[in-house]
Amino acid sequence: MPAPATPDAPGPASTGPAYLDHAATTPMVPEAIEAMARQLVVAGNPSSLHAAGRAARRVVEESREAVAQALGARPSEVVFTSGGTEADNLAIKGVFWSRRAADPRRTRILVSAVEHHAVFDCVEWLAAHDGATPVWLDVDEVGRVRPDTVRAAIEADPASVALVSVMWANNEVGTVQPVAEIAKIAHEYGIPVHSDAVQAIGQLPVDFAASGLDALSLTGHKFGGPIGVGALLVTRDLAVTPVLHGGGQEREIRSGTLATPAIAGFAAALRLAVDRQPVLADQLSELRDELIARVRAAVPDAVLNGDPATALDARLPGNAHFSFPGCEGDALLMLLDARGVECSTGSACTAGVARPSHVVLAMGADDDLARATLRFSLGHTSSEADVDALLAVLPGAVERARKAGLVSASSKK
Amino acid sequence: MKVLAAMSGGVDSAVAAARAVEAGHDVTGVHLALSKSPQSHRSGARGCCTVEDARDARRAADVLAIPFYVWDLAERFDEDVIDDFVAEYAAGRTPNPCLRCNERIKFAAVLDKALALGFDAVCTGHYARLVNGPHGRELHRAVDPEKDQSYVLGVLTVEQLAHAMFPLGDTTKAQVRVEAATRGLQVADKPDSHDICFIADGDTAGFLRQRLDPDGDAHGDIVDVEGNRVGEHDGVFGFTVGQRKGLKIGTPAPDGRPRYVLDVSPVSRTVTVGSAADLDVRALTGLRPRWCAEPPVGRVECLVQLRAHGAPLPAVVRLLDDDTLDVELLSAARGVAPGQAVVVYDGTRVVGSATIDGTRR
């Protein structure tokens, strides 16, 4: 039986469960905890005009500069948010509204079929309530949007496209998208492009200016920063209609008192994550390749989802995503959890209810394979011991889950 | 033992799980998601399939420090319980969906999956007692007669009961609430769920009309026992044998007494009404019997219960063949609805059950 939650400070865990769910959230790095803690003991609203306010504002602006520098952006392009979901909402809704206000013909939103729900559901909401026409861009069998697909979708009626949004790297299967190429195509028609880069930061090299993107979402807790803070990078010439109204703290497109401690922790973590990215990517790639090889050896019929090519322009270095035929992903997850291995089915939950992964379905898998998924994701605290712990229990869990899967399948008849 | 505790989000299943933990079992909590489109919040006290209920179950599991998962059984529930419910009404019978859910979901789909995953038992908050007695593993009525749920468990077989655990059978509901509060379970004061969990607003007739008569053309005649037309109805599925309210008959009965539904015939779309005395049933036939103890051999005196919360009635039962149970009631029962279960008891011990088919006066 697992111990009840304890409020211990996070950090590299030398004991306890094997944590293979870094794509969900990864432990904070000590430097970010320190940067955050320093600000937690100081009062001051960055919008206040007195000394305390100025001190807080200075921390925020230094953080903004650090973020900009780390990601190849200008400080004025950094809009702090409460996280990735808010950044995605601001990008999709804010750009859709401003582009349509400028030209009412612009109602189409071109978006990949494998987006995270933070993008996916924004588009669906705009379609249901605000006259948007979603165009779901097909992906190939590894989950990648082909640039030709984007071009064809635009050329169907270029004047009607409000924006294009394609994630930098997929959160479930780890497939890296050709976002720079897509941005180039869209720009031929003067169409702005957004990318949800939440999974990419710290694992892949990300340069906002070089990518040619007009907007990019990121969140702190995926690279060693705190939960509850993120940013939208957005070029100065892209108009964004606010989603949150109020004091207009962030370029009049995002309101809310700036969270100085969280922003300080976010910037400290980001700086380190970007510095360490090349080394970490190498380490994770190696560990991940070993994990994949050992899972395949232990469970020969396991299907690796996503791109079999494991270069950094193909797949996130920390991602391994499998379907285990005949198993239900949630049964496997439970069995592994009971044996101290923490991972994810990879797909989104509604009230904790596992649904077949829309990503794996979009890649052409059937419903059963899309329910049979497990995602193992590695991060900065991962080690070979985690892989050993997984492999020690995975074959037994798969065998058991398969039996349970047979029972479910036969009693359905 | 490794125990899977089914946790609805209500107080009973939370305390049942707590008792299993306290008994030293290795307990894992599971909330069964049974609704395809769960509502975020309860409307009134009904239902057990909302997001709020899942949250309540999760919080109870937190307090007990046990792992917790949600299992999605919405599809199975749709096929095995809701479709069956609708089909039974369409055929003029009155089903008990809780019974069907126990038979096909909780102690079939869930139990089978649990056993395959390495669990030894499924624990629920049902009020019934499992006792090791002279007849083996015996299912008995709960000590709280108000809450006794042995009737809806009467469909379970020996094999199903072998892996069932009902920790609340020796406790009253009031005691369970006190215990929940003592244990720090937030659901201690949560209202009882009742009625049918998948009909959130409690409007069974409206639910059935939507499923069976979307075009609103299922109307037919209400006739008396002589066959005289005494009124009209807009669909037989709204009626249950023994029902008195909602008949909307304009002409009063010759004797001025209230009239009750005696029979529902979907094919002719006829609802037959008559006096209370006409409702008396002295014998009935049960189909598809299921036994959790030795089946009766020859004519056996026993007690039978003919609906949830019904009184136990003295009867003589006899198996006509493997699939047919004949039940003679020693005194007349009123308002026996085909589709309900006849559960056979030896004192407080459940022997088995069958689905009521025909009744005889």
Give the pLDDT confidence of A305-315 residue by residue, as tens digits.
Answer: 999 999 999 99
B274 alpha-carbon distance from chain centroid: 27
Tell whether the model's pLDDT for residue B258 goes beyond 90.
no
Residues of chain A contacting B65 with CB distance shorter than 8 Å: 1-4
Range of weakest confidence among A212-226, B31-45, B141-155: B31-45
Closest residue in B to A336 (Cα) is: B117
Residues of chain B contacting A338 with CB distance shorter than 8 Å: 28, 67
- Stretch 69-88 of chain B: residues touching chain A, C-beta under 8 Å: 69-72, 74, 76
Residue A216 lies in a domain: yes
Range of weakest confidence among A121-125, A300-304, B244-248: B244-248
Question: What is the distance between the alpha carbons of residues A162 and A148, in angstroms, rounded to a whole number?
Answer: 19
Overall average pLDDT of the B280-304 stretch:
95
pLDDT tens profile A140-184: 999 999 999 999 999 999 999 999 999 999 999 999 999 999 999
What is the Cα gyration radius of chain B? 21
* Helices B11-22 & B51-64 angle (0-180, nearest 10): 20
Q: Nearest CB to B67: which of A2, A355, A407?
A: A2
Q: What length does chain B have?
A: 361
Residue A5 lies in a domain: no
- Residue where one domain finishes, among candidates A219, A240, A271: A271
Closest residue in B to A355 (Cα) is: B72
Tell whether the model's pLDDT for residue A329 goes beyond 80.
yes
Torsions phi, psi for B331 (to 5 deg):
-135, 155
B146/A contact by beta carbon, under 8 A: no
Torsions phi, psi for B98 (to 5 deg):
-65, -40
Its CATH architecture, for the domain B279-360, is: Beta Barrel (2.40)
Overall average pLDDT of the B204-225 stretch:
86
The verdict on a CB contact (< 8 Å) between B117 and A335 is yes
Q: Which of A36, A9, A87, A73 is nearest to A263 (CA)?
A: A36
Question: What is the distance between the alpha carbons of residues B79 and B95, in angstroms, rounded to a whole number?
Answer: 15
Instruction: Given the cut 0.90, state whether the ipTM is greater than it.
Output: no
> Which has more confidence, A95 or A14?
A95
CB burial string A282-296: b at 16+ within 10 A, e below: ebbbebbeebbeebe
Whether A148 and A197 map to the same domain: the answer is yes
Nearest chain A CA: its distance from B49 CA (Å): 11
Q: Which of B98, B197, B292, B302 is catalytic?
A: B197
Q: Nearest CB to A404: which of B51, B70, B113?
A: B113
Q: Please give the angle made by the CA atoms of A257, A258 and A262, to the nearest 5 degrees.
A: 130
B24/A contact by beta carbon, under 8 A: no
Residue A10 lies in a domain: no
Overall average pLDDT of the B170-196 stretch:
89
Whether A68 and A213 map to the same domain: the answer is yes
The residues near B39 (Cβ < 8 Å, ≥ 6 apart) are: B47, B49, B50, B51, B200
**Which pLDDT band holds residue A353 (cuts at 50, 70, 90)?**
low
- Stretch 321-350 of chain A: residues touching chain B, C-beta under 8 Å: 330-331, 333-335, 337-338, 350
Question: What is the distance between the alpha carbons of residues A17 and A2, in angstroms, rounded to a whole number?
Answer: 9
Whether A293 and A163 map to the same domain: the answer is no
Question: What is the distance between the alpha carbons of residues B231 and B228, in angstroms, rounded to a whole number?
Answer: 9
**Sheet containing B68-72, strands listed edge to edge, beginning at the edge strand earlier in sequence:** B68-72, B26-33, B2-6, B121-123, B164-165
CATH class of B218-275: mainly beta
Torsions phi, psi for A296 (to 5 deg):
-65, -35
Among residues of chain B, what percentage have pLDDT more than 90? Answer: 63
Whether A393 and A263 map to the same domain: the answer is no
Annotated active-site residue B197? The verdict is yes
The verdict on a CB contact (< 8 Å) between B108 and A351 is no
A396/B contact by beta carbon, under 8 A: no
Residue A12 lies in a domain: no
Tell me the average pLDDT of chain A: 93
Question: What is the distance between the alpha carbons of residues B272 and A92, in angstroms, rounded to a whole number?
Answer: 62
B113/A contact by beta carbon, under 8 A: yes
Going by the DSSP 8-state scheme, the letter that residue B15 receives in this structure is H
Residues of chain B contacting A355 with CB distance shorter than 8 Å: 72
Whether A23 and A43 map to the same domain: the answer is no
pLDDT tens profile B58-96: 999 999 999 999 998 888 999 999 999 999 988 888 999
- Residue where one domain finishes, among candidates A271, A290, A309: A271
Going by the DSSP 8-state scheme, the letter that residue B354 receives in this structure is E
Contact present, A234 and A80 (Cβ < 8 Å): no
Q: What is the pLDDT of residue A348?
A: 60
- Residue where one domain finishes, among candidates A271, A289, A320: A271
Residue ranges of domains in chain B: 2-189, 218-275, 279-360
Tell me the average pLDDT of chain B: 90
Whether A37 and A91 map to the same domain: the answer is yes
Question: What is the distance between the alpha carbons of residues A320 and A343, in angstroms, rounded to a whole number?
Answer: 11
The residues near B198 (Cβ < 8 Å, ≥ 6 apart) are: B34, B35, B47, B49, B77, B81, B82, B97
Q: What is the pLDDT of residue B173?
A: 94
Overall average pLDDT of the B118-133 stretch:
96
Q: What is the pLDDT of residue A6?
A: 46
Closest residue in B to A6 (Cα) is: B65
Closest residue in A to B2 (Cα) is: A1
Three-state SS at A69: helix
Tell whether the model's pLDDT for residue A361 goes beyond 70.
yes
The verdict on domain B2-189 having CATH code 3.40.50.620 is: yes
pLDDT tens profile A99-128: 999 999 999 999 999 999 999 999 999 999
The verdict on a CB contact (< 8 Å) between B117 and A352 is no
Interface test mutation site (partner A, options B32, B113, B160, B163, max chain A beta carbons within 10 A) = B113
Q: Nearest CB to A407: which of B54, B72, B112?
A: B112
Neighbour tally for A247: CB within 10 Å? 14
Whether A104 and A83 map to the same domain: the answer is yes
pLDDT tens profile A45-61: 999 999 999 999 999 99
* Helices A117-129 & A84-102 angle (0-180, nearest 10): 40
Whether A262 and A353 map to the same domain: the answer is no
Overall average pLDDT of the A247-262 stretch:
95
Q: What is the pLDDT of residue A180?
A: 98
The verdict on a CB contact (< 8 Å) between A400 and B116 is yes
Nearest chain A CA: its distance from B16 CA (Å): 18
Closest residue in A to B114 (Cα) is: A404
Tell whether the model's pLDDT for residue B26 goes beyond 50.
yes
The verdict on a CB contact (< 8 Å) between B116 and A4 is no
The residues near B245 (Cβ < 8 Å, ≥ 6 apart) are: none
Whether A222 and A337 map to the same domain: the answer is no
Whether A208 and A292 map to the same domain: the answer is no
CA dihedral A265, A268, A269, A271 (to 10 degrees): 150
> Which has more confidence, B236 or A408?
B236
Q: Which residue has the tokens 């995503």?
A: A321
Whether A285 and A309 map to the same domain: the answer is yes
**CA atoms within 13 A of residue B130's CA, in its CB half-sphere:** 22
The verdict on a CB contact (< 8 Å) between A353 and B72 is yes
Q: What is the DSSP string of B241-295?
A: TT--TT---SSPPTT----EEEEEETTTTEEEEE-TGGGEEEEEEEEEEEESSPP
Tell whether the model's pLDDT for residue B127 goes beyond 80.
yes
Question: How many domains does the structure of chain A reveal?
Answer: 2
Q: Which of A122, A327, A343, A349 is catalytic?
A: A349
Tell whether the model's pLDDT for residue B38 goes beyond 70.
no
Q: Which of B48, B98, B101, B292 is catalytic?
A: B101
Tell whether the model's pLDDT for residue A11 goes beyond 50.
no
Q: What is the pLDDT of residue A80?
A: 98
Torsions phi, psi for B354 (to 5 deg):
-150, 165
Q: What is the pLDDT of residue B37?
A: 65
The verdict on a CB contact (< 8 Å) between A338 and B54 is no
Q: Which of A226, A210, A176 is nearest to A196 (CA)?
A: A176
Going by the DSSP 8-state scheme, the letter that residue B312 receives in this structure is P
User: pTM for the whole thing?
Assistant: 0.88
Q: What is the pLDDT of residue B44?
A: 46
**Which pLDDT band holds residue B46 (cuts at 50, 70, 90)?**
very low
The residues near A377 (Cβ < 8 Å, ≥ 6 apart) are: A20, A21, A22, A23, A24, A174, A316, A318, A319, A320, A343, A344
Contact present, B38 and B50 (Cβ < 8 Å): yes
The verdict on a CB contact (< 8 Å) between A355 and B65 is no
Could you tell me the residue range of the domain that residue A43 belongs to? 30-271
Whether A24 and A34 map to the same domain: the answer is no
Residue A13 lies in a domain: no
- B325 - beta bridge partners? B286, B319
Closest residue in B to A401 (Cα) is: B117
The verdict on a CB contact (< 8 Å) between A1 and B71 is no
